Structure 1
Amino acid sequence: MDNNQKLKKLQYKQTHTEMGIYQIENQSNGKVLLGSSMDLKGIINRQKFELKFNNHKNKDLQNDWNILGEGNFSFEILEKIKPEEEIVTDLGDLKKYQKKLKTLEEKWFEILKPYEENGYHKIK
């Protein structure tokens, strides 16, 4: 795929997807898995798919899902990034959104502290 095709694909994705922060919450104990994505709908669908087919990378979350069942989990969008009006002109513009996502994700990690008994993340 040449750079022009990559740019067109990027422009399409940017104009048709919501970007932001999401969480998966265990309703039984309040533990959360926090994440960010350039495609919120896509990542939430993927997370559900992986959990349903016992293939999620977070084994603690997968174990709780297997024991408690899908009905005990909620998927929520915590914050969205609004795309700017200008059209993405190069891959460097994409990095701008990725940086915003990283900053937002850090903010939500600070707010929720989803570690140990509060979440499915390991303390770094």
Structure 2
Amino acid sequence: MDAADRRAAAAAYKERKTAAGVFAVRCAATGQVWVGESRHLATQQNGLWFSLKHGSCMNRDVQAAWTAHGEDVFSFEPLEQLDADVSAYMIRTALKERSAAWREKLAAARL
């Protein structure tokens, strides 16, 4: 790959759109469900799994279940993706509203 190709690839990476949305984490061993929101839904699982594997997840209930039962009983499920036309100013509010609605619907805890 020459320099021009690298520059084009870097520019394309910077211009890619990230999707914000709501997700659920489920523990099959206990039946517990946690709902959270993210500005980068596509990469959220990777970051969450990393923190759980290293024992540094901010949610102590999720960390305790992960430590007790292991990675194999956990699943990550995207629930809803925000429309692309939501303004950057309103994303945070929309994510909070949608995650609250999903927590109520699933009788889930906050992540």
Task: Name the TM-score class by shorter chain.
Answer: 0.7 to 0.9
Q: TM-score, normalised by structure 2?
A: 0.77
Deviation, 1:68, is 0.7
Gaps of 5+ in 2: 1-13
For residue 100 of structure 1, report the CA deviation from its aligned partner: 1.7
State the SS of the aligned residue for 1:43. helix
Whether the 8 Å CA contact 2:34–2:103 is kept in 1: the answer is no
TM-score by length of 1: 0.70
- In the alignment, what sits opposite 1:72? 73
Q: What is the rounded CA distance, in whole Å, between the counterparts of 2:68 and 2:96 in structure 1?
A: 32
Determine which of 87, 106, 109 is the counterpart of 1:112: 106
- Correspondence list, 1:73-88, <5 A: 73-84=74-85
Alignment of 1:12-31 (within 5 A): 15-31=16-32
Deviation at 1:26, TM superposition (A): 0.4
1:35 maps to: 36
1:25-64 matched pairs, under 5 angstroms: 25-64=26-65
Do the aligned partners of 2:19 and 2:40 also contact (CA within 8 Å) in 1?
Answer: yes
SS at match of 2:97: helix
- Structure 1: 5+ residue runs without aligned partners? 1-11
Equivalent residue for 1:5? none
CA contact (8 A) 2:29 2:73 kept: yes
- What displacement does 1:25 show? 0.5
1:62-82 deviations in whole A, cap 9, x for unaligned?
A: 111112110000001011112
> Secondary structure in 1 aligned to 2:67?
helix
Coordinate RMSD, CA, aligned: 2.1
How many angstroms does 1:104 deviate by? Answer: 0.8
Runs of 4+ in structure 1 deviating by more than 2 angstroms, as ranges, are none
Percent identical among aligned pairs is: 30
One-letter code aligned to 1:69: G
